[in-house]
Amino acid sequence: MSRLLRIPAVLCALLLGACGSPWNNPYPASDAGANVLYTSFVERPKHLDPVQSYAENEYAFIANIYTPPLQYHYLKRPHELVPLAAVEVPRPAYFDADHNRLPDDVPGGEVAYSVYEVRLRPGLRYQPHPAFARDEQGALRYERLTEADLDGIHAPTDFPFHGTREVEASDFVYQIKRLAHPRLHSPIAGLMSTYIVGLSEYAEQVGEMAREAPADAWLDLDRHEIAGVQAVDRLTYRIRIRGKYPQFAYWLAMPFFSPVPKEVDRFYAQPGMAQRNLTLDWFPVGSGPYMLTVNDPNRQMVLE
């Protein structure tokens, strides 16, 4: 009889234990009750650089890291654009071939070009990163690294100094220039070249720069300008579009038009970085609410 009683006693102990903490819980006990969300992904992201990323599994990450000018309202249906990095959703101004302003309801056939002016929210800052770190004299600490300097460095968090700064209009302009970068192969470069004034010509200029430079050399995209894209002031920039293209506003809600600072682009272009997966594709840098601190897609990826 005692043998029969032992069996339900063991079962009760197991059931009571299960009510507390699962015996096969794969997560640390220290995370219990913490503000941590665990989830999974089926396919590892191929690109986390917003100029190249165009896949749903990648957007699950970069949508939390980057801040394009606009976003979609989470609840409204049909979908509605609302500001994100921008102060408001820009309304295009229409002009004819003689640069005369046209009314908002003008037929598309009469429009030579449209102008979108984007005003940014002040105070939007980048996530801490060594590319922004400066020394006591105000110079960037890590803009001339050697292979020896990278010994023991496997992630941006391995650098002892980090910095940040406010997001500026020039960062959005710089990202649009990156659409034409011949080594990045942005999936929307061809389409945008048909609409953004001067982007095709700019792509030719940057392509010539790439042909004249060593294959691994950093290309200073600010050596040339895009005729239809200008920073008006620190927090305002304009984009000129051929004709009347109302769909362009929806492109401004995609990561392709998120800000990328020149300091970060140059930082990652230094010798030895790519061999250590120290790239925007692997460790993106944005101004969104989360930063990617661990990228080991065969084991875990951590957004903090």
Q: Which of 246, 121, 126, 217 is nearest to 175 (CA)?
A: 126
Tell me whether strands 93-95 and 70-72 are parallel, antiparallel or unpaired: unpaired
pLDDT digits (tens, 9 = 90+) for 146-182: 989 999 999 999 999 999 999 999 999 999 999 999 9
- Structure pTM? 0.90
Q: Give the pLDDT band of residue 278 (cuts 50, 70, 90).
A: very high
Q: List CB contacts of 90: < 8 A, sequence separation 6 or more.
A: 69, 116, 117, 118, 119, 249, 252
DSSP lists the bridge partners of residue 120 as: 86
User: Is the confidence at residue 4, as pLDDT, over 50?
Assistant: no
Q: Which of 229, 244, 252, 246 is nearest to 114 (CA)?
A: 244
pLDDT digits (tens, 9 = 90+) for 115-125: 999 999 999 99
pLDDT digits (tens, 9 = 90+) for 29-51: 888 888 998 888 888 899 999 99
Q: How many CB atoms lie within 10 A of CB 288?
A: 21
pLDDT of residue 20: 57
Q: 3-state class of 62 per DSSP? A: helix
